[in-house]
Chains A and B, each alone.
Chain A
């Protein structure tokens, strides 16, 4: 008896594994997806190692450890200035060439961008994971149980769908206070409803299928049917949505930072770095060009992967 059970299980897992390998095979045929994957992996590795590549103390309020930077000269851009702050120029008393120039605080822009990547990626991972798991769970319950619960959940998501997302996040952020956890909460609060709708739709399709009926006839409990069988079958669109949301969350988070919700003005975060530069856009364009470009590349990398995944996992487009 026990042996037979194990055989069934290995059969199921090997089928899932074969499916996974076929998905990877399809993904590898698309050059853009490959590019996106390589870039995404690069940024994830960079996020994990950034604090070892660049000394995080450099982002502190006094910039360079020996105070060799003329901090009081911050924001005094002029063509006649003895110091050129632009990219690729070495500062006086500073030993290293600044490939991307300095940021608004006179710190090395390249180092600050490297230091800000873990902040942004960590936030995006936390927010997307939290939103996707909460939304999926709620959507799955609403779809499976149905009735009053379904109706109530749908009406609540209706309210959130009718909001302009950024406005709601702004209101939450302004009222909850300026710290990274509250900003995460603010974005999370506007990000979960699409997952509810997505998962609910999936569940409604799945729960009418014959295998669910078969499971019920075999005496499987509701929790087992839902978590062990229905959700794994309905999870692909959620994965695609989460990958695609990754870039969107990074952009929204940095937009809030840009609009002035940074907990400290010197925090190395891409939106915050760009915010330092927007008043000096014509005198010192590199202040905003490079942080924004980094953000664009990160978001693009994850969106390329998500877009490719959507094509490959869509059963109608899958060949």
Chain B
């Protein structure tokens, strides 16, 4: 199979997956009795019950679910994703979502950088000093990472780095929110750090970065453990190969063997997995945004779920699913370029 054939096959599968998700979520979000009535955002207090029935008929909310799904799909292809419930003042779903989405992206990028920056060295140390003290320490850090309740860890970080540091008179980090200088620069991308750089306001950028440190670390703490374990496993695999034994036996220094020879092949899974981590962190940001009161889509999605707002949940899950599936595809293609032994 040629590469482009493979990509086309995967894209067709992707459409199938997105279709499946939309059907599943649609039936879940509209079908259960506790779900929000989709007609709610269209109603004002002055409307008569006949008018409400008319609105219901126009939008097809009085029809069976499968017909409603077709209506919804038709509207989506026209670019109309519907309205949110009262919790977001009945504004269009697209507007509500994409006002907050850049912030979640910024948080996930920061967390991905931390994941790779800490997880990679941990994994390498663990593999090189296999079953020695450094391996045990790195193993404890990695396992603690994915044994930690993420909401709890966020609060502990706030408690220590904001509250106690303030009490002790140390320079402290802000606890909640995305920025302490709201409105100081014009909104361009919606990511506070990037907006500060574009607006040329250094104080704003620094402040936004300070607000980002604790949430990003809290979010990355789980995934960096996973990454460290994956890097360790793949490095151990590579270190047992014949060409490493050859490199050692021809008298190369251990440092050269590891960093020049082993690392190149050992890091292939880690490099490709970074894309998956980014996609996973976008979904994992829900709890972090809740804990740190951040203006991202995760925070909104909790509200939407609690209110049974099917339109918002559908958009949220479909956007995240698209990103996850695309990241998977990119990872698989990246393998081919990074590792010439793999063919499709």
Name A's B-contacting residues (CB within 8 A).
Answer: 30-32, 155-156, 158-159, 161-168, 170-172, 174-177, 247-248, 251, 254-255, 258-260, 271, 274, 278, 281-282, 285, 288-289, 291-292, 295-296, 299-300, 303-304, 307, 316-317
Contact = CB atoms under 8 A, between A and B. Distances in A.
Nearest to A317: B236
Q: For the complex, would chain A's binding face be called helix, strand, loop or mixed by DSSP majority? A: helix
Interface in B128-179: 131, 136, 139-140, 143-144, 146-153, 155-156, 158-159, 163
A295 B143 contact: no
A164 B302 contact: no
A162 B302 contact: no
Given A165-B283, A292-B152, A159 B17 contact: yes
Interface in B316-339: 316-317, 320-321, 324-325
Nearest to B285: A164
A164 B144 contact: no
B140 A32 contact: yes
Contacts of A158: 13, 16-17, 20
B107 to A, nearest CB: 14
28 contacts: A31-B136, A155-B13, A158-B17, A158-B20, A159-B20, A159-B24, A162-B321, A163-B283, A163-B324, A164-B283, A164-B317, A166-B283, A171-B317, A174-B306, A175-B28, A251-B150, A258-B149, A259-B290, A260-B306, A274-B151, A278-B291, A288-B152, A291-B152, A292-B155, A295-B152, A300-B143, A300-B144, A316-B237
B344 interface: no
Given A260-B306, A295-B149, A166 B286 contact: yes
Q: For the complex, would chain B's binding face be called helix, strand, loop or mixed by DSSP majority? A: helix
B4 interface: no
B77 interface: no
B24 A167 contact: no
Given A164-B282, A292-B155, 11 more contacts: A32-B140, A155-B17, A156-B20, A158-B13, A159-B21, A162-B17, A164-B283, A164-B317, A171-B305, A282-B163, A288-B152
Nearest to A29: B131
Contact of A174 (B34, B148, B284, B316): B34
Nearest to B21: A159
A181 to B, nearest CB: 16
Given A259-B290, A288-B155, A271 B284 contact: no
A31 B136 CA distance: 9
Contacts of A162: 17-18, 21, 321, 324-325
Contacts of B139: 32, 307
Nearest to A158: B17
A174 B139 CA distance: 36
A255 B150 contact: yes
B34 A177 contact: yes
Contacts of B306: 174, 260
A295 B21 CA distance: 32
A203 to B, nearest CB: 22
B229 interface: yes
B28 A282 contact: no
B32 A255 contact: no
A247 B147 contact: yes
A295 B148 CA distance: 8
B313 interface: yes
Nearest to A258: B151
B68 to A, nearest CB: 16
A166 B324 CA distance: 14
Nearest to A316: B237
B287 interface: yes
Given A177-B34, A317-B236, A299 B147 contact: yes
Contacts of A271: 149
Contacts of A258: 149, 151
Contacts of B24: 159
